[in-house]
Amino acid sequence: MNVPVERRLLAGWGRTAPTEADVALAVTNEQVAEIVMAAGTRGVVGRGLGRGYGDCAQNSGGFVLDGPSRSGITDIDLATGEVTALAGTSIDELIRWMVPFGYFVPVTPGTRQVTVGGAIAADIHGKNHHVKGSWGNHVSSMRLVDGRGEVRDLSPSATPSEFWATVGGMGLTGVIVDATIKMTPIGSSLVSVDTDRAANLDEVMRLMVEGDADYDYSVAWIDLIAKGSAMGRSILQRGQFADRATVVAGGASDPLAYAPHKLPSPPDVFPSGLLNRASIKAFNELWFRMAPVRRRDELQSIEKFFHPLDMVDAWNRLYGPRGFLQWQFVVPDSAGEMVRSTVERLSKSGVSSFLAVLKRFGPGNDSPLSFPSAGWTLALDIPILPELGRLLDDLDDDVVGAGGRIYLAKDSRVRPELIPAMYPRLDEWRRVRDKLDPEGRFHSDLSRRLHLI
Ligand X SMILES: Cc1cc2nc3c(=O)[nH]c(=O)nc-3n(C[C@H](O)[C@H](O)[C@H](O)COP(=O)(O)OP(=O)(O)OC[C@H]3O[C@@H](n4cnc5c(N)ncnc54)[C@H](O)[C@@H]3O)c2cc1C
Q: Which of 170, 186, 226, 382 binds ligand X (CB under 6 A)?
A: 170
Of the candidates 23, 30, 34, the residue with the CA atom closest to the CA atom of residue 1? 34
In the complex with ligand X, the residue whose CB is nearer, 231 or 380, is: 380
Residue with smallest beta-carbon separation from ligand X: 48
In the stretch 390-429, what mask flags binding to ligand X with x, by CB under 6 A? -------------------x--------------------
Contact status: 323 vs ligand X (CB under 6 A):
no
Contact status: 51 vs ligand X (CB under 6 A):
yes
Residues 330-349 that bind ligand X (CB under 6 A): none
3-state secondary structure string across the chain: CCCCEEEEEECCCCCCCCEEEEEECCCCHHHHHHHHHHCCCCCEEEECCCCCCCCCCCCCCCEEEECCCCCCEEEEECCCCEEEEECCCEHHHHHHHHHHHCEECCCCCCCCCCEHHHHHHCCCCCCCHHHHCCHHHHEEEEEEECCCCCEEEECCCCCHHHHHHHCCCCCCCCEEEEEEEECEECCCCEEEEEEEEECCHHHHHHHHHHHHHHCCEEEEEECCCCCHHHCCCEEEEEEEECCHHHHHHCCCCCCCCCCCCCECCCCCCCCCCCCCHHHHHHHHHHHHHHCCCEEEEEEEEHHHHHCHHHHECCHHHHHCCCCEEEEEEEECHHHHHHHHHHHHHHHHHCCCCCCEEEEEECCCCCCCCCCCCCEEEEEEEEECCCCHHHHHHHHHHHHHHCCCEECHHHCCCCCHHHHHHHCCCHHHHHHHHHHHCCCCCECCHHHHHCCCC
Instruction: Give me the least distance between CB of 251 and ligand X, in Å please.
Output: 32
Q: Which of 62, 118, 147, 383 binds ligand X (CB under 6 A)?
A: 118
- Is 163:179 a contact under the CB 8 Å cutoff? no
Identity at 83, one-letter amino acid code: V
- Total residues at the site for ligand X (CB under 6 A)? 32
In the complex with ligand X, the residue whose CB is nearer, 392 or 452, is: 452
Q: Which of 11, 22, 43, 46 binds ligand X (CB under 6 A)?
A: 46
Q: Which of 21, 35, 36, 56 binds ligand X (CB under 6 A)?
A: 56
**Segment near ligand X (CB under 6 A); pick from 75-83, 115-123, 221-229, 386-394:** 115-123
Rama region for 323: left / alpha / beta (φ>0; ψ in -120 to 50; rest): left
Contact status: 85 vs ligand X (CB under 6 A):
no
Distance (Å, rounded) from C-alpha 320 to C-alpha 271? 5
Instruction: Give me the least distance between CB of 302 and ligand X, in Å please.
Output: 14
Q: Which of 43, 62, 67, 168 binds ligand X (CB under 6 A)?
A: 67
Q: Which of 94, 99, 122, 225 binds ligand X (CB under 6 A)?
A: 122
Q: Which of 62, 109, 136, 364 binds ligand X (CB under 6 A)?
A: 109
In the complex with ligand X, the residue whose CB is nearer, 25 or 199, is: 25
In degrees and rounded to multiples of 5, residue 167 shows phi and psi of: -65, 120
Q: Which of 57, 179, 190, 247 binds ligand X (CB under 6 A)?
A: 57
Q: Which of 62, 106, 110, 383 binds ligand X (CB under 6 A)?
A: 110
Instruction: Give me the least distance between CB of 393 and ligand X, in Å please.
Output: 22
In the complex with ligand X, the residue whose CB is nearer, 46 or 323, is: 46
Contact status: 136 vs ligand X (CB under 6 A):
no
Instruction: Give me the least distance between CB of 57 and ligand X, in Å please.
Output: 3
> Can you give the C-alpha Rg of the chain in angstroms?
21
Contact status: 121 vs ligand X (CB under 6 A):
yes
Instruction: Give me the least distance between CB of 49 and ligand X, in Å please.
Output: 4
Of the candidates 55, 57, 49, 133, the residue with the CA atom closest to the CA atom of residue 91? 49
Contact status: 105 vs ligand X (CB under 6 A):
no
Q: Which of 175, 193, 343, 432 binds ligand X (CB under 6 A)?
A: 175
- Is 302:104 a contact under the CB 8 Å cutoff? yes
In the complex with ligand X, the residue whose CB is nearer, 21 or 256, is: 21
Instruction: Give me the least distance between CB of 451 and ligand X, in Å please.
Output: 16
**Segment near ligand X (CB under 6 A); pick from 35-43, 52-60, 278-286, 387-395:** 52-60
Contact status: 449 vs ligand X (CB under 6 A):
no
Instruction: Give me the least distance between CB of 50 and ligand X, in Å please.
Output: 5
Residues that bind ligand X (CB under 6 A): 13, 45-52, 56-57, 67, 87, 109-111, 114-115, 117-118, 121-122, 124-126, 170-171, 175-176, 309, 409, 444
